[in-house]
Structures are given as structure tokens and as C-alpha cells.
Amino acid sequence: MARLQELLDEFARRNGIDALEPGDDGRFHVLVDDDVRVACFERFGQLCLVSELGRVPEPGPAGRVWLERLLRYALQRMKHDRGTPAVGADGAAVLFARCALADISVGDFEGRLEDHVNALEGYRRALAGAAGPAPARLGPAVLRP
């Protein structure tokens, strides 16, 4: 946890935001725009980034279409993306990414965070059925505590 705290403190200083403190769940939360939250935490020496994609619809035709879109989009991104979609027992779908924490710099973290947010936006568009241009690259300037 100490390495993650150091990394996030440096990230906050570099981006002119208040220091991040862990939430009730023990995770650090970075708010990007108004509807994108990235939970950052450490597990077994890995930096983990998790964001909610949405709730899986109830079983039936709508749920099947939603899951098919999720899996198709995941397959398309497989070669270029570090994120993995997953569905928890509570029915919440998330985008999960991880990397070794030991050698990551604040610049690496910013890049991983940006990649995660861009992938999340792409997944959300795919799940909504919206076809559109590739997600805009989001830089640290849009980050808010």
C-alpha cells in the first residue's frame, strides 16, 4: 500500500489535485469527468484499476444481446488492450486492468489510467449499441479529485 500511496501522491502533485485518500472500501478513487470513476488498489504487488461498466440486464433477450456485445467488443480489443471485462456475483460488470506496481512511474500510471478510461468509454458505447468515432484521448488535465 505504501508504494501505491507514494505513486498517487506524486500523481496528485503533478496534476494539481488534492491528495487521494482511500475510501471506505480501502481503494483510492480517481474521478474523471462526472461519470467515470476509477478505483485504484494494490493486490499481490499489482496495481489494479477497476471501473463499472454497468449492470448486466436480467436473463432474457436484452441480457443476451448485452453480453454478446460485451464479449464481441472484448474480442476486438484483446490484442491492444490491457483491460478485461468481468461480471461480479452482484451483477455489476466492470473493466479490470492490472500491472506490476514495483517499477511503475507516475508517467506510466497516467498512461495506464488514460488507456483504462479510453477503453471504458469504448465499452460503454459498445454496450449502449452506439456506433461512433474512437474515444477521445483523455489527458490528466480532465482529472478531478
Q: What is the CATH number of the domain that holds 30?
A: 3.30.1460.10
- Within 8 A by CB and 6+ apart from 144, the residues are 17, 31, 32
Number of structural domains (the chain) is 1
Q: What is the pTM of this model?
A: 0.80
Q: Would you say residue 143 lies in a domain? A: no
Q: Would you say residue 139 lies in a domain? A: no
Domain that includes residue 26, residue range = 2-128
Q: Would you say residue 133 lies in a domain? A: no
Q: Would you say residue 95 lies in a domain? A: yes
Contact in structure between 53 and 93 (CB atoms under 8 Å): yes
Q: Would you say residue 13 lies in a domain? A: yes
Q: Would you say residue 60 lies in a domain? A: yes
Q: Is 60 left (phi over 0), alpha (psi -120 to 50) or beta?
A: left
Q: How far apart are CA 117 and CA 95, in angstroms?
A: 10
Per-residue pLDDT tens, the chain, 145 aa: give them: 688 999 999 999 998 888 888 888 889 998 887 778 999 999 999 999 999 998 888 888 888 888 888 888 888 887 777 788 998 878 889 999 999 998 899 999 999 999 999 999 989 988 886 333 333 333 333 343 3
Q: Would you say residue 135 lies in a domain? A: no
